Amino acid sequence: MTSAAPSRPRPRGSLIVFVVLVAMWAAWALWFTLAPSTNPGGQCEGLGFGCTLTPNDLAAFAGIIILAPGTFLLVALTLAVRATRIGRGSPRTVWDVVLAVLLLAAGALFVIGNLVGSF
């Protein structure tokens, strides 16, 4: 009788992180797209002096201030964990490279968008 070789559980952490990030960005995009660009009741728009942001501006503000930096930190942590696992001989190096390229491209687009928007 032969015994089967013990199987190691495959790490799925970076895949879970990627799915969560896609879901969060999709929910934000839906919020940003469907939010009205005017305040109800003719309330003034903007910040300060009793005015409030429009729902669309609030969605954009939340994406820039909360979602984008949170994504960057989560991606940096995930890539650090994956780099450690690659160093230990993890077989999932193709997924790591694909994830790194996608996330670095997203980060570059975010930085480029901020630089272009500031001029």
Size of the chain, expressed as the number of residues it contains: 119
- Contact call for residues 62 and 94 (beta carbons, < 8 A): no
pLDDT tens sequence for the chain (119 residues): 566 555 655 556 667 777 888 898 899 899 989 988 887 777 777 776 777 888 888 888 888 888 888 888 887 787 777 777 766 666 666 666 677 777 778 777 877 877 776 65
- Contact call for residues 95 and 83 (beta carbons, < 8 A): no
